[in-house]
A and B are shown apart, each in its own frame.
Chain A
């Protein structure tokens, strides 16, 4: 087990290294760099000034040197400075993390809250109209663009009730109630979409489990349907669902990007989009690496959990 975890960690390390190289190269491929952006807001470009600025920021050095320097900084925990705001990158990212985290956790919660029951009901009532209805509703969530759903929500709210959630971030420590109200709709919008995946896997796993002999035995013995379902089937179906939650994290983050934009939440996902647009290399690289680390570790944790919980699965090489 330990060797397995160690091996997976090593692989994760290699993956992240590859990711860092990919990010570095891609950002440099993009035309224009931060000095162009700085001049952009000044409304003109002066080549001499630009070279001077580049030297100041250290982006006139050869790419290999820059890459090495960045990796070295990362390893030391030095996240560098945001080019655009001239503040330490960590200082800019730090206040935004809890926002995205809260949104992600709440959205995850909603997706499980919606997905699992839908999946169970759908499996138990397989083939009946309720099954189809739930599958349609669930799939509809997966088919809608996240930003469209968010925009429609805001528009409908304003037109019908004349109220929208606060557009200025309220910290949960300042006012928990206002904070939850603010996050309710965006979390619902993101969670609804993710719930489709959970619903699907719950449903198919439940179907498999429901066919198992011991379930049939329980039926035959006359045990109440609900009891059978909830006690036996759900327990066994939970394993793949847990796995999926880990994988789904990556999918969730994509939805966060647009939702944070439309609901004006100051989170890291939206900030990443801004940083890409402004060629703020340190922010883009470090944020994207952060996301990659989270995703990779989440997958790793889920796989480890899976192995540990279900020793029937053997993980050989590759």
Chain B
């Protein structure tokens, strides 16, 4: 009997099997279908209509239902024009030097109620959002109208082709259409229904909506991406109290938590349940200081600079931010963002250097402006009446007091905040800003353009407006970056809206949750969740 051969064969067979079965570093696990994912979003959403809201809560809880024309690849962490992938549009093409954008749509898409998706739906949606005079529907509130200002007309020459005709070139339009805030709505469903219901084309169908408590989705069996979604359903459970959220995650009632959490929350969660995984990333949400340009003495650049100098960014990092933030100018700095100022310049921004020196300089500037110990600057720092804002604002008040300013804190209730800001009824305010995409058109126009509705500081500079328009039409990326940086520098010098820091975002999940995408330069464009699967 020749035994060594069978033994060798057996061993080789085993070895071969081992190589095949053992997951090597390059081998990804094969996703499995099934399971319902339970998570706690940032807060309850006022409606399921992303076009009418500006809060991440809405995007989180409505994105599974919809699709865009194009979307950002969930698996690529830093969003840019290079990570845009098709969704409802199979192919697209810029024509005439970025003046016309043509989309060729998929032919196999159905709405959740069975009706077919056509170019009419696209035209309907974006005519509505851009406020076209002949739009078939009108949004009650329209926060992103100005994203589409350059659009002159939208044409649907046939059922599966859409053309956006622009007044002037705007390469950023494509990125705006890829944002979680730009889903396509069905033309045959009345707009009012989107408050509490959702008819989309997306990977999940709405199963149950208890406003303020729960939003539940079930898989869409007719989704046009075969094999997706992997999950049987998603459940968004609203838990208001942060420590209760953490406890719910630790005890396994949630698969994923962390929306709105800071570093300490994430660490606490993991301390109590070491198997949890923390995902940390930058985000395009920043804390900034609104200074009312229309109220004396804040129209004095020295006073503004003094305020900016007094706020020690390093202390901001440790206290209000618990050690997790990125410093930058008006746009998210690299490597997380695409358009920010280089690190060397960021390090020279007011508030970044030695605090003692900067506070002394602040005092000097205030004295020059006429404010001394005998005649201190008195001001009111306003902020929203929510715990995290109040904390940071309390910190601000303390920093200002250390340069001789007598500051008190005013808490403004949620409903009154934006009206007050819009009417410029404040002196200095602590604000949080998140813009849908990491793009200068969105960021700059919304926050710094003369007369923009979200330009709460009343800042207005013709020169900057001109530069903004110029960069919007600049096609060469390097040239555009240079322009954007120049604008950023000027904004910082003017103290247009001092940025305290760009926050980090956290997600904490159990290891069985796979493909929970997180992007570095936006929180708004990953919530489709069609690639998420549960390994259990």
Contact = CB atoms under 8 A, between A and B. Distances in A.
Interface of A: 31-34, 36-46, 49, 53, 84-87, 92, 95, 151, 154-155, 157-159, 162-164, 166-169, 261-264, 266, 271, 274, 277-279
A178 to B, nearest CB: 12
Given A169-B213, A263-B244, 6 more contacts: A31-B413, A31-B416, A40-B415, A49-B142, A154-B244, A158-B246
Contact of A266 (B140, B210, B243, B423): B210
Contact of B141 (A32, A46, A158): A46
Contacts of A157: 247
Interface string B125-153: 00000000000000011110000000000
B418 A261 contact: no
B210 A95 contact: yes
Contacts of B58: 41
Contact of B54 (A32, A44, A166, A266): A44
Interface stretch (B63-71, B161-169, B248-256): B248-256
Nearest to B453: A44
A164 B244 CA distance: 9
Contact of A278 (B240, B414, B422): B414
Contact of A44 (B211, B239, B273, B422): B422
B248 to A, nearest CB: 5
A121 to B, nearest CB: 36
Nearest to B235: A168
A162 B453 contact: no
A38 B54 CA distance: 10
A38 B53 CA distance: 9
B52 A42 contact: yes
A87 B422 CA distance: 29
Contacts of A167: 237, 239, 244, 248, 253-254
A179 to B, nearest CB: 15
Identify which of A41, A163, A164 gathers the most chain B CB atoms within 10 Å of its CB: A41
Contacts of A166: 253
A164 B416 contact: no
21 contacts: A37-B414, A42-B54, A42-B142, A43-B55, A44-B453, A49-B140, A49-B141, A84-B46, A85-B211, A92-B211, A155-B247, A158-B272, A162-B273, A164-B244, A167-B239, A167-B253, A168-B253, A261-B240, A261-B241, A277-B413, A278-B414
B111 interface: no
Interface in B422-454: 422-423, 453-454
Given A32-B413, A158-B250, A39 B212 contact: no
Contacts of A44: 54, 141, 143, 418, 422, 453-454
B247 A40 contact: no
A261 B239 CA distance: 9
A277 B417 CA distance: 12
Given A158-B250, A274-B212, A40 B417 contact: yes
Given A40-B414, A41-B53, A41-B54, A155 B141 contact: no
A38 B214 contact: no
Contacts of A84: 46, 211
Identify which of B141, B195, B413, B422 gathers the most chain A CB atoms within 10 Å of its CB: B141
Nearest to A159: B272
A294 B54 CA distance: 39
Nearest 5 interchain pairs by C-beta:
A43-B54, A32-B415, A44-B453, A32-B416, A42-B141
Nearest to B241: A262
Contacts of A86: 47, 192, 195-196
Contacts of B53: 41-42
Given A86-B195, A164-B247, A40 B253 contact: no
B316 to A, nearest CB: 24
B88 to A, nearest CB: 25
Nearest to B55: A41
B364 to A, nearest CB: 37
A36 B419 contact: yes
Contact of A32 (B239, B273, B419, B454): B419
A264 B272 contact: no
Given A36-B415, A41-B46, A261-B241, A87 B453 contact: no
Contact of A264 (B141, B241, B415): B241
Contact of A168 (B196, B214, B241, B454): B214
Nearest to A92: B211
A168 B273 CA distance: 20
Contacts of A168: 38, 214, 235, 237, 253
